[in-house]
Amino acid sequence: MDYRVIKENDLFLLTDDKGNIPENHSYGLGLYTKDTRFLSKLDVKINGEDPILLSSDAAENYMAKILLTNPHMEKDGELILWRESVEIERTRFIYDEVLYEAIKVKNYFPKPIQFELSVHFDVDFHDMFIVRGFQSGKTGKRTGQLIKGNSLTFAYEGADHLKRSTRIQWDKNAKSAAENGDVSFDFSLQHGEEETVTFVIQPQVGDRVRKEAVASEKAIVKLKDSYQEWEKQITKVTTDFEPLKRLVNRGIDDLKVLLTDLGYGQFPVAGLPWFGVPFGRDSLIAALQMLAFNPEVAKGTILTMASKQGQNLDPWRDEQPGKIMHEIRFGELANTNQIPFTPYYGTIDATPLFLILISEYVKWTGDFKILEQVKDNIEAALKWIEEYGDRDGDSFVEYHQESSKGIANQGWKDSGDSVVHRNGDYAKTPIALAEVQGYVYQAKTGIADLYEHIGRKAEAAVLREQAEKIKQRFEEAFWMEDVQYYAIALDEHKQQVGTITSNPGHVLFSGMLDEERTDAVIDMLLSPKMFSGYGIRTMGEEEAGYNPMSYHDGSIWPHDNSMILLGMSKIGRQVKANKVINGLIEASAHFEYDRLPELFCGYDKSIGKAVKYPVACSPQAWAAGTPLVFIQTLLGLFPNSITKEIHLSPLLLDSMNELKVENISIGSGQLSVAIYRHNDQVELRVDENTTGFEVIID
């Protein structure tokens, strides 16, 4: 499906490439907020016929422009409208929870012309889970339409007793407007004359008084101003290697459009079109990827996740006290408890990732005040790891689905076939994943560092003792001597799930592995079995479960690679990290808009191109964050507010001779550095350091 999507805060529009939402389509096109479709039909016709598409630009996520023209029109030998006489330009954007669409028509015929332009609307108010075919259930009913002046309102009362409505307004007197959603206009244009009709489409949930929408002209100015303000806050990257520059710029733009604020600060939702909601794992990892570019996003993410932390023992939602949520939904089915996403807690890694993000955020920013703000949340998360995460007291954190409508595999590879033995049998739960043990180790040592700094030395010592036990047990239980690599998991019987996968690569970032085995992991990840030339596969070739077209068993996920890159860079394996970066940059050339997709197929580079995965979110937060990790990795940048040090171990790609990174927020100031290569000599220059930290070149 070649779709077009725009988003701002909590409202997004998904259409086909003509800008339409056709009836009876299969991809769930529509206007959405709060997991409800507030527009299920939208199309434009000229004299009752479909226009012809000329161009459709989806490069910008906050604004879309679509150019159309009329087909040739005759009746009984009489000319009605010569082909390509009318240029129809559709421009749409979202501001302050309102969709604006301006339709401009221009006459290119040499004489005056007359024609009718009609726009057709409908609203089904379907829950997102119903739209996607995942669920059916008790729902509400439409309660009618109301035409009043230049407006049409569709109304609905949900099974959750919430009233929902969509109001559509237009700024030109209509020829006709009907309750079925058909609105038509007559145009009479001289040669070269143009005219515009603007629609303002406003969803409403609940009984609160609907605020008046800002005028279109003011709204677009305010929207552009918000993007300019974002650009002022973000780290600036300049390089002579254009493919990298384009990837970084695209990633920054995509992350901006994915930011949402539920009242605790901005944080990234997982991805569009289907996951424009808070996602524990995805939001936390994307915020981690963004630390070198805008650490305030990490703060917003931490506080948002803290606000939804588990409080109760609720098997229906896989909830336990202290657990960080997986996903929250706001639609009719969630509100009536027909699905458990209110929020749903079926994730094994979000809780340690929450603690990791806290420790990394504080090390970047020196914001120790947040520790007091989330003190209880940290303690609850640590307690969850000990009491609920480690189900049997063996020092490993395991998952097991309790909810009848929950998720079976609860790591980042959450498809049903993602944890598979070398003989092809699927592992059964409880399952302890390799990367999760690394996350827990990193969470405990990271929080221990912070506790020591603020005087909580006894608690820090306990965490370090627990972390050391995890490390020893991990080596004993997960290491596979015959293949010199770690198992992806332990199954219900504590037997190794020995398939070669990318999961152990995440453990590199934790600092848990000994140097010899660190290099063994990296060697496997960069072997032909795992590295396609375009990136590290999720599963190795020739494994029983390997399939280059699969979602998690042989495909390539940029974010998966980015977590491995952070580890490689942190332990000084820059040359090998650059091999992965080069592969992903080459892959990006095969995808639209200089954008790394959520995932792509794991075919070897020798076939000549990176192969698109058939259904992938775009834009997607942790894919957008991956090019930002490239920059941190190339710099080898790791600050520490406890030691007041900034460690740099820069290494340029072979294809570049210049990398300038300005206004990196660290501590209470900023760092700007430049790296230049001249005749095989590399120079690092610190252009600005107002952080109060010492720069150490490793």
pLDDT digits (tens, 9 = 90+) for 48-85: 999 999 999 877 778 899 999 999 999 988 999 999 99
Beta strand ranges found along 17-112 (DSSP E): 30-33, 36-39, 41-46, 52-57, 63-69, 73-75, 78-81, 86-95, 98-107
d(CA 408, CA 404): 10
227 against 355, higher pLDDT: 355
d(CA 519, CA 525): 10
Residue 315 DSSP symbol: G
The pLDDT-based confidence of 23 (bands split at 50, 70, 90) is confident
CB 235 within 8 A of CB 639: no
What are the tens digits of pLDDT across the range 582-636? Answer: 999 999 999 988 889 999 999 999 999 999 998 777 789 999 999 999 999 999 9
d(CA 409, CA 288): 23
How is residue 317 written in tokens? 């939602």
Listed residue (197, 220, 3) closest to 119, CA to CA: 197
pLDDT given at position 170:
98
Listed residue (573, 347, 540, 374) closest to 439, CA to CA: 347
The pLDDT-based confidence of 561 (bands split at 50, 70, 90) is very high
CATH 2.70.98.40 location in the chain = 3-224
Q: Where are the alpha helices (DSSP H) in 7-127?
A: none
How far from 474 is each of 4, 14, 64, CA to CA, in Å?
46, 45, 50
pLDDT given at position 439:
98
Q: pLDDT exceeding 70 applies to what percent of the chain?
A: 100
CA-derived radius of gyration, the chain? 27
CB 157 within 8 A of CB 141: yes
Residue 431 DSSP symbol: B
Listed residue (33, 30, 621) closest to 281, CA to CA: 621
pLDDT given at position 26:
73
Which class is domain 234-677? Answer: mainly alpha
What are the tens digits of pLDDT across the range 98-109? Answer: 999 999 999 999
The enclosing H or E element of 391 equals: none
Average pLDDT, the chain: 95
Quick one: 229 exposed, middle or buried, by C-beta within 10 A (0-12, 13-18, 19+)? exposed
What are the tens digits of pLDDT across the range 396-440? Answer: 999 999 999 999 999 999 999 999 999 999 999 999 999 999 999
How is residue 229 written in tokens? 């303000």
The enclosing H or E element of 500 equals: none
d(CA 149, CA 165): 17
Listed residue (14, 665, 637, 646) closest to 296, CA to CA: 665
Listed residue (365, 195, 397) closest to 287, CA to CA: 365
d(CA 265, CA 296): 8
pLDDT given at position 172:
95
d(CA 432, CA 477): 11
Listed residue (585, 612, 583) closest to 599, CA to CA: 612
Strand, coil or helix: what is 211?
coil
d(CA 584, CA 579): 9
Q: Is the peptide bond before 203 cis (omega within 30 degrees of 0)?
A: no
What are the tens digits of pLDDT across the range 463-517? Answer: 999 999 999 999 999 999 999 999 999 999 999 999 999 999 999 999 999 999 9
Query: What's the rounded mean pLDDT across residues 309-314?
Result: 97
Q: In this model, does residue 317 exceed pLDDT 60?
A: yes
What are the tens digits of pLDDT across the range 170-182? Answer: 999 999 999 999 9
CATH 1.50.10.10 location in the chain = 234-677
d(CA 682, CA 658): 9
The pLDDT-based confidence of 211 (bands split at 50, 70, 90) is confident
d(CA 117, CA 579): 55
- Pairing mode, strands 36-39 and 98-107: unpaired
Q: Please, how many CA atoms are within 13 Å of residue 554, restricted to the half-sphere of its CB? A: 18
Q: Is the pTM of this model over 0.75?
A: yes
CB 596 within 8 A of CB 286: no
Buried b / exposed e over 327-340, threshold 16 CB at 10 Å, is: bbbbbbbbbbebbb
What are the tens digits of pLDDT across the range 253-263? Answer: 999 999 999 99
Strand, coil or helix: what is 239?
strand
Strand, coil or helix: what is 479?
strand
What are the tens digits of pLDDT across the range 512-524? Answer: 999 999 999 999 9
d(CA 204, CA 202): 7
The pLDDT-based confidence of 674 (bands split at 50, 70, 90) is very high
pLDDT given at position 449:
98
Query: What's the rounded mean pLDDT across residues 666-686?
Result: 94
How is residue 6 written in tokens? 């725009």
User: How far separated are the first and last CA of the chain, in Å rounded?
Assistant: 48
d(CA 24, CA 436): 42
pLDDT given at position 447:
98
Query: What's the rounded mean pLDDT across residues 654-682?
Result: 95
Which residue type, as a one-letter code, is found at position 90? R
Listed residue (379, 319, 328) closest to 354, CA to CA: 379
CB 581 within 8 A of CB 526: no
Which residue type, as a one-letter code, is found at position 28? G
The enclosing H or E element of 236 equals: strand 236-239
Task: Find how far residue 355's CA is from the centre of its chain.
Answer: 20
User: How many secondary structure helices (H) and strands (E) does the chain include?
Assistant: 16, 32
The pLDDT-based confidence of 301 (bands split at 50, 70, 90) is very high
Strand, coil or helix: what is 369?
helix
Query: Largest Cα–Cα distance of the chain, in whole Å?
Result: 93
Q: In this model, does residue 209 exceed pLDDT 80?
A: no
Neighbours of 509 (CB within 10 A): 23
Fold for domain 3-224?
Answer: Beta-galactosidase; Chain A, domain 5 (2.70.98)
pLDDT given at position 631:
98
Listed residue (312, 105, 304, 97) closest to 205, CA to CA: 97
How is residue 370 written in tokens? 């947040």
CB 39 within 8 A of CB 124: no
Strand, coil or helix: what is 242?
helix
d(CA 134, CA 153): 29
